[in-house]
Amino acid sequence: MEVILQKGKGRRVEDGHPWVYGNEIEHINGNPQTGDIVSVYNFRKDFIGKGYINTLSQITVRLLTRDADETIDKSFFRNRLFSCRAYRETLGYTTNYRLAFGEGDMLPALVIDKFADVYVMQTLSAGMDKWKNIIAEILLEDFHASGVYERNDVPVRTLEGLTEHKGFLSEPFPTRFVMEEEGVRFHVDLDAGQKTGFFLDQKDNRLAIAQIVKNKSVLDCFTYTGSFALFAAHFGAASVQALDISADAIRMMQANAELNGFKQIEGICANAFDVLPQWVKEGKQFDTVILDPPAFTKNRKGIDNAIKGYKEINLRGIRLVKPGGFLATFSCSHFMDVNLFYDTVAAAAKDAGRTVREVQFLNQAKDHPVVWGVQETHYLKGLILQVL
């Protein structure tokens, strides 16, 4: 079955992007069903690649290979997952890491996180969803997984005509356990935690705060399970205020603090958009402020509001930093690209009337590889700034 692109379309796909949009297609030969493997050609009939199709989705084809002779079957996925693991092992990952990062690993719409010998999976498109049991088998047979869990309770699946679902793809096993990262212990809840249970993408950035928290007063805003707050305590912070709007998050953060015996962390359950301005008014300040807000937008339409949200939070956050102190600020929305992120934080600093110096630019961890030309793979970015 073949998909022929229109003249003038397909350049992006030929240059390496894996997505073919419905409005780029001239013709589909052979009546493929949802999830079937099709070959994609440009208008000159030059082969571009093979992937799975879903005519219900705006992203109609997602390419899996550029090799016309490669068959998409169980051994294709096994080989791909072996290279995913080889890349991570080369970079020093051993126990807990993202094994597959979708388009970043040429496995579109597939996310797999590994926590020791337990794997959590998301198949976010109809074409990838068809393979989920095969992929679980590979993890059990070839990766010696003790269990595989599916966290497909993600709204984006509805764009693909899929339902939201979570559950075991192996024999049942305990989905709550304790994991350790660089000497800090965390409760992980694969079933009830956000996304796949723990934000592995901030791993390098948790280490990057080491020097700016020692003996300092720290605010960790949007703490969730307290990952930055705990690392701040681990690196010797004098006091840490960990803030989140969700009472559940604060409870998880507190349980994690207890697990590690950290006494200097205080949980605050509040809306950052209310509390930060209030603290600014009261003249409260911290040596170091960490801002790791949610994406604020999951689509391009919401970008203006998201920019407003980021600017507001950064403006307040900057004002809460003592002169000479530090701000670590993040955005996990890929719509907020690097330039927009810099511009927004710069505008916030300007409105706050503070001069900032860039200490370090931060990125998503290396087990979430960014593929050049596939901008959607770059979502998490951050800055450590000194606020003068």
Residue numbers annotated as active site = 332
Does 58 participate in binding ligand SAH (rule CB under 6 A)? no
How many whole angstroms separate alpha carbon 328 and alpha carbon 290? Answer: 5
H/E/C letters for each residue in 322-341?
EEEEEEEEEECCCCCCHHHH
Residue with Cβ nearer ligand SAH (35 or 294): 294
Nearest residue to 204 via CA among 298, 294, 97, 357: 97
Pick the binder of ligand SAH from 24, 244, 287, 367 (CB under 6 A): 244
257 interacts with ligand SAH by CB under 6 A:
no
Distance of closest approach, residue 25 Cβ to ligand SAH, in angstroms:
37
Contact in structure between 209 and 235 (CB atoms under 8 Å) = yes
Parallel, antiparallel, or unpaired for β 37-41 and 47-53? antiparallel
Q: Give Dmax (Cα) for the chain.
A: 68
# residues near ligand SAH by CB under 6 A = 19
Q: Which residue's entry shows tokens 């440009």? A: 42
Residue 294 touches ligand SAH, criterion: CB under 6 A: yes
Residue from the set 3, 112, 249, 356 that interacts with ligand SAH by CB under 6 A: 249
Comparing CB distances to ligand SAH, the nearer of 1 and 255 is 255
Residue from 28, 72, 238, 245 in contact with ligand SAH (CB under 6 A): 245
User: CA-to-CA distance for 258 and 262, rounded, in angstroms?
Assistant: 6
Which position has the token pair 């040429």? 106
The reply on whether position 278 binds ligand SAH by CB under 6 A is no
224 binds ligand SAH (CB under 6 A): yes
Query: Which span sits near ligand SAH by CB under 6 A: 70-78, 271-279, 346-354, 374-382?
Result: 271-279
Q: Which of 199, 231, 326, 379 binds ligand SAH (CB under 6 A)?
A: 199
State the nearest-atom distance from the C-beta of 273 to ligand SAH, in Å: 5
Residues 364-383 that bind ligand SAH (CB under 6 A): none
The per-residue DSSP string of 135-154 comes to: HHHHHHHTS--SEEEEEE--
Among residues 343, 339, 350, 344, the alpha carbon closest in space to that of 387 is found at: 350
Contact positions toward ligand SAH, by CB under 6 A? 199, 202, 222-225, 227-228, 243-246, 249, 271-273, 292-294
